[in-house]
Structure 1
Amino acid sequence: MLFTKETPILYYEARSHQRWLNREYILFPAYYYRVLAPRVSSRKLNILEKAVLGICRIGAFTAQEIGEKLDIGGDLSALIISELQYNNFIDHQGLITKKGKQILENELIETEDLIAGYVFQEPWQGELFPRFIENLEYAETRFNDNDYPELVLGTTGKPFYQKIFMPLPINNTLMVKPTPRDILRAIKTHNQTLTNRHRENDVEANEQLWNIEKQPDLKRISFIEEQPQPVWLATFIYTPESNFDEFTENNWQISDPFGLGDSPWLYRQINKCCQKQDNFPLQKSINNLLNSNTKLNESKERQEKRQDLMIYHEEAINIIENKLSLEILKWDDLYKGLIVIERTYLELELSSKNKQNINYINYFINDKLEDIVIKCQKLLENIFLIIGDQYPTEKCWEILDHRDKEYNKIILEQIVEKIGFKPLKNESHDSKLKLPKSLLSVDINKIKSASDHQSGSLRGYVIASLLTAYNYEQHPLYFFAEKMPNLLFELDKLADLRNKSGHYSSQKLTQEIVKKQIALVYQLIELFLQTNFHKPIELEEEVIYV
């Protein structure tokens, strides 16, 4: 099926999350299928969690008492209570929190009522949009002098005509009929996005948020029309106003064609196509948008700032390549992360020498110091994630006990002793400690999140890596311990600085403190590169290491 100038256009009043500096309307091609499917709602609580939360709403009870009331046993109720506390649905006294009350009130009842609607398929890779639309909203259009359609917007009395980029010709398309499971996933994702549209995070990218209590019968999903129909989806790409003063490579966004703000999903799909196709039709529109920004009337001050940022960028690259071997170029995420850290620090150093508007400069410096600390932690978290690809951490937490902290302390100290980490003699902390107290007290749910879902923060990743290294004598942590015996204490200091940033603290961030954290990042990355760690090569069915 071909996409032509006469192919129908759908318009759902696309809008952006951010204020845009410049934008260009585009038509995105899609196939739509009309289907009949159960109306389902995503839950965040399963039936037992909901029951426990309901009991906690009327008062505080012990895990044993709740287990007896629900006839599920004390151990299971303790685990459920721990999960609810981790999600801040109940407090540590066992009372329901404001967040818990809200989630309990907002729980939707699942239904198997059938509903007719439309799912949309991206034509180059055959993936379904994470949307389920009940009605087709056809755009009002007119053809201009070049015989291309324009959107008719505004009111009946005061219409205006919006030019829109039509990426013809559309080649290399796929015709793959979606499965019932694909359709169900699109419906669930759409419902979850509607429920969380007030949030700023990318719900589409985090399928772990959903916990469907009852799986609908996939056999009830059917096609009303077996053959797909081609359609253009009207939306726009734009450059955020906030990116104008930043030196970035990916400084454009795309609005969701169905009126739900920005679409990270569609952004990723377009980027995939741009990488695979040399002459991807939408690339021209993206380039036109980015090029048009350089033609805007910039103030002299903005021009100078943009030039400064480019200078910082080049200087950052020189610093990194002088400090590290060219092996760093093989690790794109680490390399780019270091560039951002160095660029931010160079900008900070220049600002600290500026004596004008001292109050603003101090505020700017404090903000940049906190920003660098956060980026340092994120970069080190990335190292542990990379190591976790070759030495999987999944289920490593099972060696620990949910209730016995003393037992966990003994286990962790034995692991640390075997690997070889220890504090230096001149450290100010208790020399009897084999690892920092805050690492010993990391909540087991945070360790589970880091090990099984690769989400969380630095301390969780460190513990997950330690637990895994115990069974792998070739694990990089052994080499790290040999070269940096006090690494665990240094990582803990960084995590502590990160947690205190933005809050009142007796220890204020200084450039000297932050420089030490940057040095720690370089030191660990250098050790990582010395381990000759190799990237996995992705094949169609498996992952091998070379």
Structure 2
Amino acid sequence: MAAFAETGIYLQFAEKPRGEARPLLWPVLVHRVLYPEAKEAQLNLFQRAVLGLIRAQLTQAEAIAELTGLHVNLIKLILAQGVSNGWLTDSARGLTEKGEQLLDGESVEDDNLKAGYLFQDAISGQFWPRFAEQLDSIEPEDPLQRYPVFKGERKSGKSIRPFVMAAGKSSLPTLDHEALAIAYRDYRDDCRAARQLDSGQFPQFLKLSGVQRLDDTAKPARVLLWAKPDDEGLELWAVDDPFALRANAWWLQDALREQTEGGNKYLLNHLQPLVSVPRADDQTVEQWLQAMRQQADMQVLTEYPWAARQPDIKRHLAALLLRMNKLEQGDQSEQELDAAVMECQKLLEVLMQWLIHQYPVEAGHLPKQKIVNREL
């Protein structure tokens, strides 16, 4: 069992997100681990298309050329490259394990081992579903201050004064294979989701096989995180993902909620500017959040009474009205505008699902078109 102790080590992995945000210093234990170094996938658009069709059992070069619109000689060249690089079998009629990994966007393991870091939450005791290749330290303006202050952006000249989150008093569980497997599973799922939602650059995806502890003891530290308004509208606040795989650090949500609902008035005062509806002095966090929801629900009942009969439409409409109220009150940050657009998309999706369910199309009325027009 391990315990957290202040060491004066502060880490930062991401800059302040766009829009309104408040800094937090979150306590963690840093475990040093060893893992196989990864090689990034090296497939261009044409190679990815050809390998995908081969996985779909389309193996003739002429058929692939006709379907993709590429010259048949280019298809044959890609097939030859796939065989020589070990992506395709010798007959070029199937993918190898390496080809499957590349096509799925996963990294390919190398024999070289590399040191990295895994983080354990010193509040909840859980292991974060994130790995880091290096630790990015930051220095406070005055190392002797009880509550550290950091230099902010040069443009604003403002200092960063984070709220220091209290660590858990009980001993923390040790790192074992089961805990590592759970953290890795969630990390893998977030990596795959990030690749599906965005084609941007993300940290290297690490393979679990071969990961092992490098040090017997973990090093206590604090990570600079940013709390922000919850884009989903289900909570008062969310924590920005410091590793930029997802929009929010979902694994910190329960711990943040417990801290705020526990009556920590200093933390509440620190986070209160992020919420558009003012909090009464005698309101708990749950009552505060309920007041916001009731305000939106009342607006739905008075202005859109028909929506009350459809729970999904009502829920997303209420979330959108919350966003619209914040925009009308002057919070027109890019983050808030993006969140409002996202709520519009969700509302449109559930509305279309309701229409399809309410007015289904009879199979006999669908056009019987067997030939697909690829020019459309």
TM-score range, shorter chain: 0.5 to 0.7
> Partners in 2 of 1:194 and 1:344 — Cα distance?
24
Number of the residue aligned with 2:271: 289
Number of the residue aligned with 2:298: 314
> Partners in 2 of 1:191 and 1:42 — Cα distance?
13
- Please state whether the residue corresponding to 1:256 is helix, strand or coil: coil
- Whichever of the two has the greater Rg, that structure is 1
**Residue 228 (structure 1) shift:** 1.6
- Please state whether the residue corresponding to 1:142 is helix, strand or coil: coil
> Partners in 2 of 1:256 and 1:437 — Cα distance?
48
Cα deviations by residue, 1:25-80 (Å, 9 ceiling, x for unpaired): 101121111111112468798x98585589869542599xx9x99497xxxx8xx9
Cα deviations by residue, 1:92-130 (Å, 9 ceiling, x for unpaired): xxxxxxxxxxx8697754324211111112234443323
**Residue 148 (structure 1) shift:** 1.3
- Assess if the C-alpha contact under 8 Å between 1:24 and 1:164 holds in 2: yes
Gaps of 5+ in 1: 81-102, 205-209, 297-308, 325-333, 349-366, 385-422, 442-546
Number of the residue aligned with 2:140: 141
1:252 pairs with one of 219, 233, 237: 237
Does structure 1 residue 131 correspond to structure 2 residue 115? no
Number of the residue aligned with 2:226: 236
Number of the residue aligned with 1:10: 11
- What TM-score results when the alignment is normalised by the length of structure 2? 0.55
Number of the residue aligned with 1:269: 252
Number of the residue aligned with 1:414: none
2:314 pairs with one of 338, 362, 368: 338
- Please state whether the residue corresponding to 1:338 is helix, strand or coil: helix
Percent identity over the alignment is: 14
**Residue 3 (structure 1) shift:** 4.1
Q: Structure 1's 321 and 275: CA in aligned 2 closer, same or farther, altered over 3 A?
A: farther
Does structure 1 residue 222 correspond to structure 2 residue 212? yes
Q: How does 1:463-478 map to 2 (within 5 A)?
A: none
**Residue 257 (structure 1) shift:** 2.8
> Partners in 2 of 1:169 and 1:371 — Cα distance?
37
- Please state whether the residue corresponding to 1:230 is helix, strand or coil: strand
Amino acid at match of 1:313: D
Structure with the higher fraction of residues in helix conformation: 1
Number of the residue aligned with 1:524: none
Amino acid at match of 2:300: A
- Please state whether the residue corresponding to 2:298 is helix, strand or coil: helix
- Assess if the C-alpha contact under 8 Å between 1:154 and 1:160 holds in 2: yes
Q: How does 1:66-85 map to 2 (within 5 A)?
A: 70=91
> Partners in 1 of 2:161 and 2:344 — Cα distance?
45
**Residue 375 (structure 1) shift:** 2.4
> Partners in 2 of 1:57 and 1:15 — Cα distance?
51
> Partners in 2 of 1:239 and 1:2 — Cα distance?
31
> Partners in 2 of 1:279 and 1:369 — Cα distance?
34
Amino acid at match of 2:239: I
- Please state whether the residue corresponding to 2:254 is helix, strand or coil: helix
When the two chains are superposed, the root-mean-square deviation of aligned CA atoms in Å is 5.7
**Residue 262 (structure 1) shift:** 5.5
> Partners in 1 of 2:158 and 2:295 — Cα distance?
43
Does structure 1 residue 60 correspond to structure 2 residue 53? no
2:262 pairs with one of 279, 302, 315: 279
Q: Which has the higher contact order (CA 8 A, sep 6+)?
A: 2
Cα deviations by residue, 1:423-446 (Å, 9 ceiling, x for unpaired): 9xxx998xxx6x4666999xxxxx
- Please state whether the residue corresponding to 2:163 is helix, strand or coil: coil
> Partners in 1 of 2:261 and 2:125 — Cα distance?
19
**Residue 369 (structure 1) shift:** 9.7
> Partners in 1 of 2:4 and 2:158 — Cα distance?
25
Gaps of 5+ in 2: 68-78, 80-88, 96-101, 279-292, 325-341, 370-376
Q: How does 1:414-429 map to 2 (within 5 A)?
A: none
- Assess if the C-alpha contact under 8 Å between 2:123 and 2:167 holds in 1: no
Cα deviations by residue, 1:197-220 (Å, 9 ceiling, x for unpaired): 8459xx99xxxxx9x9xx87x4x3
Q: Structure 1's 49 and 428: CA in aligned 2 closer, same or farther, altered over 3 A?
A: closer
> Partners in 2 of 1:317 and 1:42 — Cα distance?
52
Q: How does 1:182-221 map to 2 (within 5 A)?
A: 182=182, 184-185=184-185, 188=188, 198-199=198-199, 218=209, 220-221=210-211
- Please state whether the residue corresponding to 1:117 is helix, strand or coil: strand
